[in-house]
């Protein structure tokens, strides 16, 4: 293999001109704090919340400082406290169990399937261990949400959805984040809309929404929220809900509003790139493509494949060989955390658990970002490189 890819796996597209102009307007008037508005003015953050609530079909929306803050706020708002146990995915990223630990609760890990979704059989066996599930739609893979909600509803489990990788996705026509009690989204640079950092929180539950708004640092300015419950709900919670400030500001909201308007067009672009990569990788000896179910509309902003039952040395060789050809792959099977990749047994603030079936799958997960700066031709080239190097190592082994 003589090809070399010369693109960047971390370079995002420039912000759209409408976002730049909106940001300039906010910077010119200087009212960056979400509650600093002129008389009669509707602030950018309040408008963002109203627009996103409409977009996903939610009653209430709150814009916050990060996706991780949204998750921790959701846990607090549904009543999770110190010493409580919270179910969550064994295959996820550190901010998810981190949000559980941040409220003094304890993660209970649920296994992962070869589809890279939460193991619903394992969830059913552990349903009596906690009253809340922090469900991570890790790397944009949606499980059978109908079956998951049946399990959770039967067990009285409140579901919080981590939709950091599924903004714009849906299951059986229901937007990701809208099956559980709360949906939490990220607006960090590598997610589907980019404000550097930021998060969005949606719910149909008035009291959860009011608690979240108070937690985020609204003081007694909650009437300036447009996608919020009425003042009578705040009267019930405002004296007992602590201020744990994590508001989004008007500058980031201004940057996000035009991007959200373009979200579904961007989803089509991501999926065209994903499908080009998927087609190029399919039927590679030793490599398993993760099949997507018909009920799922996904967002292909990253792609994963499995090198199941390969030795650690062989997987590491594939990663190294691809890197020499300019293709940056990440591996979730490493014994030690590296960059953003870590595993449930890396998080030593959580009680040690044994998940041998998941360990086998985690040992084979290879992950790659798919930025929109890649062309379809880039994706075809990347797939050729991966295919050649996987085949070479597989044949030599």
pLDDT for position 1: 73
The answer to whether 275 and 301 are in contact (CB under 8 A) is no
Q: In terms of domains, do 176 and 288 share one?
A: no
What is the spatial distance between Cα 247 and Cα 13, in angstroms, rounded to a whole number?
26
CATH number at residue 160: 3.40.640.10
Q: What is the pLDDT of residues 260-279, one digit of tens each?
A: 999 999 999 999 999 999 99
**Max CA pair span of the chain:** 72
**What's the pLDDT tens digit per position in 348-395?**
999 999 999 999 999 999 999 999 999 999 999 999 999 999 999 999
Count of structural domains, the chain: 2
In a domain, 209, yes or no: yes
- 346 and 363 in a single domain? The answer is yes
Residue 149 has φ and ψ, to the nearest 5°, of -70, -30
Task: At 145, list the tokens.
Answer: 């949400």
Rg (CA), the chain: 21
Alpha-carbon dihedral angle through residues 294, 299, 303, 309, given to the nearest 10 degrees = -40
And the tokens for 345?
């047994």
Asked whether residue 225 falls in the same domain as residue 267, the answer is: no
> 202, 233, 261: which is the final residue of a domain?
261
Per-residue pLDDT tens for 271-301?
Answer: 999 999 999 999 999 999 999 999 999 999 9
- Residue 289, domain CATH: 3.90.1150.10
3 Cβ partners below 8 Å, 6+ apart? 325, 381, 384, 385
**Residue 397 predicted with pLDDT over 90:** no
Element of type H or E holding 184:
strand 182-186
Q: Are residues 313 and 246 in the same domain?
A: no
What is the mean pLDDT of the segment spanning 127-134?
98
pTM reported for the whole predicted model: 0.97
* Domain presence at residue 367: yes
Element (H or E) spanning 152, and its range?
A: helix 145-155
Structural domain boundaries, residue 329: 263-396
Q: Give the span between the Cα atoms of 208 and 159, in whole angstroms.
A: 13
Residue in the block written with tokens 């996705």: 169
- Identify whether residues 119 and 132 lie together within a single domain: yes
Q: Which residue has the tokens 């809340």?
A: 132
């Amino acid at each position: 293999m003589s090809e070399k890819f010369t693109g960047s796996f971390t370079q995002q597209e420039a912000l759209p001109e409408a976002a730049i102009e909106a940001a300039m307007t906010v910077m010119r008037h200087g009212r960056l704090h979400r509650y600093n508005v002129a008389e009669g003015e509707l602030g950018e953050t309040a408008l963002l919340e109203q627009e996103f609530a409409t977009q996903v079909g939610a009653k209430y929306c709150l814009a916050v400082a990060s996706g991780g803050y949204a998750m921790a706020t959701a846990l607090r708002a549904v009543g999770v406290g110190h010493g409580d146990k919270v179910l969550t995915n064994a295959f996820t990223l550190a901010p998810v169990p981190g949000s559980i630990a941040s409220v003094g609760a304890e993660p209970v890990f649920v296994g992962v399937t070869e589809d890279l979704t939460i193991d619903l059989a394992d969830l059913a066996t552990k349903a009596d261990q906690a009253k809340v599930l922090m469900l991570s739609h890790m790397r944009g893979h949606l499980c059978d949400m109908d079956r998951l909600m049946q399990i959770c509803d039967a067990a009285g489990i409140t579901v919080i959805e981590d939709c950091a990788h599924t903004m714009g996705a849906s299951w059986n026509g229901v937007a990701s984040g809208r099956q559980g009690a709360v949906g939490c989204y990220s607006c960090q640079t590598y997610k589907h809309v980019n404000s550097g950092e930021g998060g969005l929180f949606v719910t149909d539950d008035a009291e959860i929404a009011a608690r979240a708004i108070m937690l985020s640092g609204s003081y007694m300015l909650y009437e300036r929220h447009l996608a919020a419950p009425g003042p009578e709900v705040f009267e019930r919670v405002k004296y007992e809900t602590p201020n744990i400030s994590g508001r989004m500001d008007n500058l980031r909201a201004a940057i996000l509003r035009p991007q959200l308007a373009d979200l579904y067009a961007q989803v089509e672009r991501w999926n065209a790139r994903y499908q080009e990569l998927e087609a190029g990788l399919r039927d590679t000896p030793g490599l398993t493509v993760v099949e997507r179910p018909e009920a799922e509309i996904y967002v292909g902003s990253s792609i994963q494949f499995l090198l199941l039952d390969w030795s650690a040395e062989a997987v590491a060789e594939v990663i190294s060989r691809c890197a020499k050809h300019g293709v940056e792959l990440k591996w979730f099977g490493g014994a030690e955390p590296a960059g953003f990749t870590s595993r449930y047994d890396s998080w030593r603030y959580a009680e040690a658990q044994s998940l041998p079936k998941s360990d086998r799958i985690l040992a084979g997960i290879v992950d790659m970002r798919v930025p929109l700066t890649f062309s379809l031709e880039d994706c075809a080239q990347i797939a050729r490189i991966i295919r050649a190097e996987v085949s070479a190592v597989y044949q030599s082994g």
